[in-house]
Amino acid sequence: MNKLTIDDVLLKGKRVLVRVDFNVPMENKTITDDARIVESLPTIRKILDDGGRAILMSHFGRPKGKRNIDYSLEPVVKRLSELLGKPVKFASDCVGPEVQNIVDGLRDGDCVLLENLRFHAEEEENDPNFARELASLGDVYVNDAFGSAHRAHASTEGITHYIRPAVAGYLMKKEIDYLGSAVGTPARPYVAIIGGAKISGKIDVIQNLMNKVDVLLIGGGMMFTFYKAQGLEVGSSLVEADKIGLAKKILDEARSRNLRLILPVDCVVADRFEKTANCKTVPVDQIPAGWMGLDIGKDSITLFVNEIRKSRTVVWNGPMGVFEMENFAQGTNAIARALADGTKRGVVTIVGGGDSAAALAKVGLEKAVSHVSTGGGASLEFLEGKMLPGVAALTGK
């Protein structure tokens, strides 16, 4: 990583302004998954242990630039205090005289969480004045919110024009190191598994990975658009009609490059989109009219798992089927287990956030792979080969 990190700066006595990602799932103001808070702890503890004053800022939800108590970060303070084992202060705004007074009153080793950045429309607008006001709260800026690094917002990009050094926290560094090795210098054979409903959301990832991987496995709803491109009938399965030509182009390109692009050979089909639907497994060229494919079949699972077993690096982004329904979760669960088994054998296994991370967690394997990205959109854009504004803005070594 060619950016300065938190280990490269002196923190003692400094006001350390930290962009974290506390956009956690919440129900009735109770946190239902604190993983993002837990992931931020190494960076926060480093600051506090070194005698710095941690000023944490984050967004939460989509309050659309207006103060809305339903999107307050105050419930996070209690959980963060418990995890750190010390009280964390809370500021009822992220800028203004009250916030400045709280920050001025901090002592070495103190920590404060500012209120939701997105209560101000200027955050997402990357307003220079708002960025300057945020920057005035700190002496050092740390970005540890990889999940927001693909957005050029005031707290991720604009702020770095007014405060230096701007460095990466431990979570940011971990994300970039893992994803960077996956797209830069992977151990081979390198296998990518791409799933999810639609090609349109993954096209840039597929095209970029085609330049890098040895094997590309494609599952999920998008596989039916590829079947259509091969002239197969897919019943009432999901198809992006306007992407059939693109799917054909990808298949042709893979063939011309001798890239092993592998599609499922069978699938689980159902007579309706319900967990109580009648379902059966059929070859991909025998999908009945009126039935829809909702998972990859047993032979496809064997095919995919065998490729994973031969790999040294695996990147997985997107489920193999409608894993939220047990009848159609077998393909996704099998991939999760194969990655966990591979990790035990020393395979580098990287899971790109979102539904794939949820699927891992559902079968209790979220700790059994090398790395689960905390940033769905950010990890996708990184794998697409794009430079993330929040990373580019950090101080270089």
Residue 56 contacts residue 106 (beta carbons within 8 Å)? no
Dig out the tokens for 288 from the structure: 């009945």
3-state secondary structure of 326: helix
Burial letters 270-287, b for 16+ CB under 10 A, else e: beeeeeebebeebebeeb
Contacts of 291 (CB under 8 A, 6+ apart): 235, 236, 237, 269, 270, 271
Which segments within 106-236 are labelled E, that is strand?
111-113, 140-143, 166-168, 190-194, 215-218
3-state secondary structure of 391: helix
Catalytic residue IDs? 36, 198, 354, 377
* Measured distance CA(318)–CA(313) in Å, rounded: 17
List the beta bridge partners of residue 281. Answer: 268
Distances in Å between the Cα of 215 and the Cα atoms of 192, 231, 385 are 6, 23, 18
Distances in Å between the Cα of 331 and the Cα atoms of 207, 288, 294, 366 are 24, 20, 10, 17
